[in-house]
Structure 1
């Protein structure tokens, strides 16, 4: 908090293709600062996510705003994945993250891999400063981040501290029912593509599930690659599945969303130009032939 006191302008970034924790920690921190330091100019930047605009929308700022500004990057393990390259244009850079360190940057670099989410980490700031106030908007966003990265408190990254943080947040009067309804809402087109994925995915003898969605298929449902990727968990509850990957073609590259119940997959994701959590990662391949190599590596990992 000493750095925040020193700077008049704070600009908060997060990773590309944001998920609820990226937006929740970014927006939650912004509101936490505004709630307790009313004299600060606080901005959040990065590309928009159409499906998550209900959480928060980004600010549009000029390059000049970065002069003498404190820049904080949330939920991003490496500089390559920071949304909006102007993060390096500020006077000072801070990193707040819960992923394993891939790229060391920022001073300080606050990384806690034992935390379920970056949003949970930020809750600890509020909980350790009894003089701070917390608005319902800050609570809603931080809660969204925790829910997103724990799969509604189902994943193994959930600890007693996770529940304590969530309990603190739900004391605030935000509408949890409306939040859950919006978070898990699917368009009619996504629902129909969901049916296609369930029909077409493959399950190997090693317990690897995968499906390949070409641009032609995605466009036939009037959707984008981002819309398709949101369906990554739609076949996760199939018996005997250990790990799974959904490939969605996007322009000149193919995005791979990888999830696991057993083997750690973040090192595999790093091999294919990605990264993330041991049980949830993302990667990028240049061709369907390279996608097959990723599948082969994932099968070998599950066979171990």
Structure 2
């Protein structure tokens, strides 16, 4: 598969890399890490990163301003995105050929070339694997800024190597990446430091979550609560794992109300919850998924289903 991807890359002068909406460190890490990897090894090619920027990821990097004309005759690579609805910037369909590189279940097998490995901790891990193949067979080198981004993506998607998705291979790759020249302390600060307002909201979550005897838990963050604490819905992504240290908890859901919908963020320490996410128009990993509800009544149905799953 790596050889097919590299052979395809060689055929195009313009390559546009996409990732999913509401990006996280692995979305940026795999997308922008791949961008700098390809720019370094194919300096005559035009490599662009598409998608709307998330200000919470300023510390990582920024995507490019991609024009409609850029897609003409371009190769499109989509990283870390399970289904077509979640691709940030639907103009990806205007490219000549699409490559999918992902580690989520391949329920939506879009793309002309598809590389999906659900055993990988992250899409960033897969990009590193692509690099090692290119290094051995094409003489590729990995620039420091690409190494930094790939490392951030792995750290983000493994919860600082605490999640079961962090395999021996993951640790070996991380060990190789830290040999490159970048400031890990500054990177960790960017990923995990919080404003005081966000910490206050975290305190609200600890004080107000509800847990069923089954080990299922939930907390609802309304628009009024977000306004009270001066926090945006996007910023709350840093708080999703907050309840993971609660003793006796099996799985939890945090609801974040927006103007037109309610974000449903599911996490688990055992029960598989991505099938539940699919029931509500979402998806993801067995232990970390997301979905959308359009009323608090629908949100309550998510809670009921989570309790059923934790009780079985």
1:20 aligns with 2:28: no
Q: 2:259 aligns with which of 234, 248, 251?
A: 251
Q: Partners in 2 of 1:235 and 1:122 — Cα distance? A: 31
Structure-2 residue corresponding to 1:59: 64
Distance in 2 (alpha carbons) for counterparts of 1:235 and 1:161: 28
Structure having the higher helix fraction is 2
Aligned mates of 1:190, 1:170 — CA distance in 2: 30
Shift of 1:228: 2.2
**TM-score normalised over the length of structure 1:** 0.98
Task: Give the structure-2-normalised TM-score.
Answer: 0.96
Measured against aligned partners, the alpha-carbon deviations of 1:138-182 in whole angstroms (never above 9, x if no partner) come to: 000000111011111111111111111111111101100110011
Equivalent pairs counted in the alignment come to 304
Q: Secondary structure at the match of 2:219?
A: strand
The answer to whether the aligner puts 1:262 opposite 2:267 as a matched pair is no
- Equivalent in 40, 43, 48 of residue 43 of structure 1: 48
Once the two structures are TM-superposed, the CA of residue 94 in structure 1 deviates from its matched residue by 0.8
Take 1:29 and 1:62, find their aligned partners in 2: how far apart are those partners? Answer: 20
| Aligned equivalents of 1:293, 1:229: Cα separation in 2 | 22
Structure 1 residue ranges (4+ consecutive) displaced by more than 3 angstroms after TM superposition: none
Residue 5 (structure 1) aligned with residue 19 (structure 2): no
2:293 equivalent to 1:285: yes
Structure 2 residue aligned with 1:86: 91
Deviation at 1:235, TM superposition (A): 1.8
Q: What is the Cα deviation at residue 125 of structure 1?
A: 1.5
Q: Does the alignment pair 1:192 with 2:171?
A: no
Show the counterpart of 1:32.
Answer: 37
1:119 corresponds to which of 120, 124, 128: 124
Residue 233 (structure 1) shift: 1.3
| In 2: Cα distance, 1:72 partner to 1:292 partner | 38
Give the whole-Å Cα distance in 2 for the aligned partners of 1:238 and 1:256.
19
